[in-house]
């Protein structure tokens, strides 16, 4: 079904106050946009009044006065006065008759069904607001993230779920979450405004696992955060089976994140399907630098709804970069993408492409735990290559680099504030970007 145009007549009959106009929503619709107007609107005797409302299955979706002539409804954003809901089934477009000064009024409707599109959505999985120890309100933080080009943002305040809901900000998907925060370790629970019924307060790993299991049964996706951080690592037993994801990049690439990346790579080599993500752990700006989206997690999702984004993360459909400027690494094997499983024959062709490989960066491709391809960029630009997996297992790509010159100086200055013990110390290469695997079986 394509977009629709409708012309309807509302009369001055005082016995008919509501005009019902059922419309079937096409499968795969992500967002419905409705523009309406009516003629005549103004007369010598007064202004005609025709309001628009939406309902589905006998339940209201929302309504606004006739001053609002454009309405947008989706699972991740809706015009004020309308609930956020996934467009599906049959919706009833209601025309509500108010004062009518003419025998009839012509109402014109333009309905656009925006299809969901499977693609990479750019966002940040770890951010704090004034509800814990951040310095921005949730709405302000979402607007800031949108201004930086992010398409989703996970709100993960310390031990404080978003029990009263998240504001709707046009252009960005707000994902509810909470960071369970203890001296023994931090973990994000994403996807539900009330992941557990009781208190977060606990003392042991067994109690945390019980809390996690309750959150998971309520639909939450679980991520271990900065597991090798010098200040707040995961001090309990670190078992990949406890989590759906691991924060391989937290803030800038450094020794702590390199340990997390290497730990993840060992788990992938063992066959553990643990999804890599990156989170800025944003609390506030550092001097004039806003670190939202640093790093960036690209999620290969069926739509921008937070349910689809989390489903994709759980399925292992991610790529991570220290910032949006370092670009997305994309890997494909025919129609298969990250998170998919392909039957191994030894003849498969895996396409790896980087939108922006910087001069001096080293692209590394791994198959079954072995490096099968390396390339160091001699100049900045897009790059692509085709490789053949050498054996069953995970195939993924990463970008390695080291800080040099002015970037090295700025890196050390930032570390002198965040992690003084690691500032101005000798170091080697760090992982600046990586992909989740395609699995060959």
Distance of CA 383 to the CA centre of its chain: 26
The pLDDT-based confidence of 66 (bands split at 50, 70, 90) is confident
On the question of a cis peptide bond just before residue 295, with omega within 30 degrees of 0, the verdict is yes
Q: What is the CA radius of gyration of the chain?
A: 25
pLDDT for 268-317, tens place per residue?
A: 999 999 999 999 999 999 777 899 999 999 999 999 999 999 999 999 99
Query: Which secondary-structure segment (H or E) carries 186?
Result: strand 185-190
119-440 maps to CATH 3.20.20.140: yes
CATH 2.60.120.380 residue window(s) in the chain: 4-115
pLDDT of the residue at 162: 85
pLDDT for 327-361, tens place per residue?
A: 799 999 999 999 999 999 999 999 999 989 999 99
pLDDT of the residue at 424: 83
CATH 3.20.20.140 residue window(s) in the chain: 119-440
Per-residue DSSP letter, 241: G
pLDDT of the residue at 416: 80
pLDDT of the residue at 182: 98
Count CB neighbours of 197 within 10 A. 7
Higher-pLDDT residue of 204, 164: 204
The pLDDT-based confidence of 418 (bands split at 50, 70, 90) is confident
pLDDT for 317-327, tens place per residue?
A: 999 999 877 67
Whether the per-residue pLDDT at 365 is higher than 80: the answer is yes
- Mean pLDDT for all residues in the chain: 94
The pTM assigned to this predicted structure is: 0.93
Query: Which secondary-structure segment (H or E) carries 225?
Result: none
Topology annotation, domain 4-115: Jelly Rolls (2.60.120)
Higher-pLDDT residue of 107, 67: 107
Nearest to 433 by CA among 297, 240, 316, 264: 297
Output the DSSP codes for 36-65.
Answer: EEEE--B-SS-B--EEEEEEETTEEEEEE-
pLDDT of the residue at 419: 78
Distances (CA, A) of 194 to 142, 175, 191, 205, 273: 20, 13, 9, 21, 26
Q: How far apart are CA 155 and CA 166, in angstroms?
A: 9
pLDDT for 139-168, tens place per residue?
A: 999 999 999 999 999 999 999 998 788 999
């Amino acid at each position: 079904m394509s977009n629709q145009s409708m012309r309807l007549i509302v009369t001055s009959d005082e016995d008919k106050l509501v005009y019902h106009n059922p419309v079937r929503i096409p499968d795969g619709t992500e967002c419905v946009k409705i523009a309406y107007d009516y003629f005549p609107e103004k007369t010598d005797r007064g202004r005609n009044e025709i309001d628009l409302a939406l309902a589905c299955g006998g339940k209201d979706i929302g309504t606004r006065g006739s001053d609002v002539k454009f309405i947008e409804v989706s699972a991740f954003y809706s015009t004020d006065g309308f609930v956020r809901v996934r467009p599906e089934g049959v919706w009833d477009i209601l025309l509500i008759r108010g004062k009518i000064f003419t025998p009839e009024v012509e109402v014109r409707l333009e309905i656009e069904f925006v299809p969901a599109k499977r693609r990479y959505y750019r966002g940040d999985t770890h951010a704090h607001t004034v509800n814990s120890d951040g310095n921005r309100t949730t709405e302000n933080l979402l607007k800031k993230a949108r201004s930086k080009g992010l398409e989703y943002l996970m709100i993960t305040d310390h031990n404080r779920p978003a029990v009263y809901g998240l504001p709707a900000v046009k252009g960005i998907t707000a994902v509810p979450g909470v960071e369970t925060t203890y001296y023994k370790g931090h973990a994000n629970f994403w996807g539900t405004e009330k992941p557990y019924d009781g208190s977060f307060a606990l003392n042991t790993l067994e109690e945390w696992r019980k809390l996690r299991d309750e959150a998971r049964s309520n639909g939450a996706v679980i991520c271990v955060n900065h597991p090798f951080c010098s200040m707040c690592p995961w001090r309990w037993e670190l078992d990949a089976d406890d989590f759906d994801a691991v924060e391989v990049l937290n803030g800038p690439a450094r020794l702590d994140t390199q340990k997390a990346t290497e730990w993840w790579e060992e788990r992938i080599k063992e066959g553990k399907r643990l999804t890599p993500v990156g989170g800025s752990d944003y609390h506030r700006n550092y001097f004039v630098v806003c670190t939202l989206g640093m790093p960036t997690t690209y999620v290969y999702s069926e739509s921008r709804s937070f349910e689809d984004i989390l489903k994709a993360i759980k399925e292992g459909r991610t790529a991570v970069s220290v910032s949006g400027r370092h670009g997305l690494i994309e890997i494909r094997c025919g129609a298969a993408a990250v998170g998919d499983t392909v039957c191994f024959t030894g003849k498969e062709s895996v396409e790896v492409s980087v939108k922006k490989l910087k001069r001096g960066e080293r692209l590394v491709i791994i198959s079954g735990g072995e490096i099968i391809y390396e390339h160091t960029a001699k100049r900045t630009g897009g790059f692509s290559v085709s490789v053949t997996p050498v054996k069953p297992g995970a195939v993924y790509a990463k970008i390695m680099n080291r800080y040099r010159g002015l970037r090295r100086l700025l890196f050390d200055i930032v570390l002198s504030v965040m992690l003084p013990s690691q500032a101005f110390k000798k170091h080697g290469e760090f992982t600046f970007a990586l992909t989740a695997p395609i699995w060959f079986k």
